[in-house]
């Protein structure tokens, strides 16, 4: 408490004491002289003077305090307004609290959005890195193709076998593993390389391996199993491969006429070699349509002696002749299409 407050308190005490003293003197004089106010008895007049004195003390005290202190004036005359202000402030505080809660919820939402955006950004960065890696691989593949360094083209056959039916689970799995080992020897001889971690030259995805194994276990007919490259393989890289499975069905029987056509020979005009070349291309297309699996784009096999003999025979002939293509032996899906030509006048 500062000196001004102490001075105010001392002043009030002195003033109250003075008023009380004056009231006491006035009361005694009224009592001695038996004076009367408002036609009251002297005794009651003295009591009234004492009451008035007390009221004056309280009034003077309040007046001095009101003059000296803004807080006292507010407490005496501005209490209603103060209560209104307090009510308004409480309402404002509630609004601010609600706003704070709302802002906190917004902050949480925005924080979640930021985390989601960070996750999306991370995913996009990973996708970009994967695309960049793929782009680099494609550039290397294009460059390798230009430089002739591709050891296996996409879908190129590494090996082909005919598997007999009746295998169990373990037998089928071991059989496929042996094919992969054979494929590795072929791949290494072609210029493929070993994986640095597990030292393998040929990889087959697990799903493809298991699917092929199930087909081997459940088949009742011979199957043609081909191990093919899944993508272009650069020199020095391991081969990513997969198994392709087909039933080894009989397509043509031995001695069956596969194709028959008529040729009108004009001496010095008909190009026999060209006509036979086109015939062999047509036979290749026909065989593929029938279901014979090609190897390096071809399916047909014809002996050089038969081809030379037929060429020489046709060159000596004139007019219309019939040329037949005969199956040399039973021909299956696995191929090849072994044929010979026969000429009829």
Mean pLDDT estimate for the chain: 80
pLDDT digits (tens, 9 = 90+) for 83-119: 777 778 877 888 888 888 888 888 888 887 788 888 8
pLDDT at 283 over 60: yes
State the average pLDDT over residues 239-247: 91
Q: How far apart are CA 223 and CA 220, in angstroms?
A: 9
What are the backbone dihedrals phi and psi of residue 343, each rounded to the nearest 5 degrees, phi first? -110, 135
Q: How far apart are CA 23 and CA 54, in angstroms?
A: 9
User: Would you say the pTM of this structure is higher than 0.85?
Assistant: no
Beta pairing class for 337-344 and 331-332 = unpaired
What are the backbone dihedrals phi and psi of residue 193, each rounded to the nearest 5 degrees, phi first? -120, 175
Q: How far apart are CA 221 and CA 157, in angstroms?
A: 22
pLDDT digits (tens, 9 = 90+) for 203-212: 899 999 999 9
Q: How far apart are CA 169 and CA 172, in angstroms?
A: 5
What does the pLDDT read at residue 193?
86
Q: How far apart are CA 202 and CA 151, in angstroms?
A: 13
User: How many alpha carbons fall within 13 Å on the CB side of residue 179?
Assistant: 26
Q: What share of the chain is helix, strand, coil (3-state, %, to 5)?
A: 60, 20, 20
> Out of 146-150, 171-175, 259-263, which region has the weakest mean confidence (pLDDT)?
146-150
What are the backbone dihedrals phi and psi of residue 243, each rounded to the nearest 5 degrees, phi first? -95, 140
> Out of 89-98, 310-319, 331-340, which region has the weakest mean confidence (pLDDT)?
89-98
Check the CA dihedral 333-336-337-342 and report its sign: negative
* More confident position, 54 or 318: 318
* More confident position, 82 or 258: 258
pLDDT at 331 over 80: yes
Contact 160, 184 (CB under 8 A): no
Contact 226, 186 (CB under 8 A): no
What does the pLDDT read at residue 171?
93
pLDDT digits (tens, 9 = 90+) for 221-233: 999 999 999 888 8
Distances (CA, A) of 126 to 68, 113, 123, 136: 77, 20, 5, 15
User: What number of residues does the chain have?
Assistant: 345
pLDDT at 1 over 60: no
What does the pLDDT read at residue 9?
62
What does the pLDDT read at residue 11?
63
Q: Which residues contact 49 (CB under 8 A, 6 or more apart)?
A: 23, 26, 27, 30, 37
**Among 94-98, 194-198, 240-244, the range of highest mean pLDDT:** 240-244
Q: How far apart are CA 71 and CA 91, in angstroms?
A: 23
Q: How far apart are CA 96 and CA 106, in angstroms?
A: 15
Distances (CA, A) of 264 to 35, 271, 274, 318, 324: 171, 11, 14, 7, 14
Q: How far apart are CA 162 and CA 176, in angstroms?
A: 12
Confidence of residue 173 (pLDDT cuts 50, 70, 90): very high
Q: Which residues contact 64 (CB under 8 A, 6 or more apart)?
A: 8, 11, 12, 15
On the question of a cis peptide bond just before residue 222, with omega within 30 degrees of 0, the verdict is: no
Q: Which residues contact 11 (CB under 8 A, 6 or more apart)?
A: 64
């Amino acid at each position: 408490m500062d000196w001004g407050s102490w001075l105010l308190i001392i002043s009030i005490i002195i003033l109250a004491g003075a008023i009380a003293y004056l009231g006491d003197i006035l009361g005694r004089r009224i009592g001695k002289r038996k004076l009367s106010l408002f036609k009251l008895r002297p005794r009651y007049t003295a009591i009234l003077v004492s009451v008035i004195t007390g009221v004056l003390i309280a009034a003077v005290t309040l007046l001095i305090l009101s003059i000296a202190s803004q807080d006292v004036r507010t407490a005496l005359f501005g209490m209603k307004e103060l209560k209104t202000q307090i009510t308004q402030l409480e309402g404002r505080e509630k609004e601010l609290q609600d706003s704070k809660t709302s802002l906190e919820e917004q902050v949480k939402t925005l924080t979640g959005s930021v985390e989601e955006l960070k996750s999306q950004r991370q995913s996009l960065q990973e996708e970009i890195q994967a695309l960049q890696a793929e782009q680099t691989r494609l550039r290397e593949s294009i460059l390798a193709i230009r430089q002739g360094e591709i050891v296996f083209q996409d879908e190129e056959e590494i090996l082909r076998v005919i598997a007999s039916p009746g295998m169990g689970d373990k037998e089928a799995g071991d059989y496929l593993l042996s094919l992969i080992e054979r494929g590795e020897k072929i791949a290494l001889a072609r210029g493929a390389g070993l994986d640095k971690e597990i030292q393998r030259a040929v990889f087959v995805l697990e799903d493809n391996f298991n699917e092929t194994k199930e087909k081997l276990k459940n088949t009742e007919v011979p199957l043609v199993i081909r191990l093919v490259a899944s993508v272009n393989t650069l020199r020095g890289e391991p081969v990513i491969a997969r198994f392709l499975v087909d039933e080894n069905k009989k397509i043509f029987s031995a001695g069956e006429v596969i194709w028959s056509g008529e040729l009108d020979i004009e001496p010095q005009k008909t190009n026999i070699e060209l006509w036979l070349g086109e015939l062999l291309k047509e036979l290749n297309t026909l065989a593929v349509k029938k279901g014979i699996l090609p190897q390096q784009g071809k399916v047909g096999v014809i002996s050089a002696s038969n081809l030379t003999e037929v060429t020489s025979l046709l060159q000596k002939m004139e007019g219309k002749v019939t040329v037949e293509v005969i199956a040399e032996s039973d021909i299956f899906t696995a191929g090849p299409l072994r044929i010979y030509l026969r000429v009829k006048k």
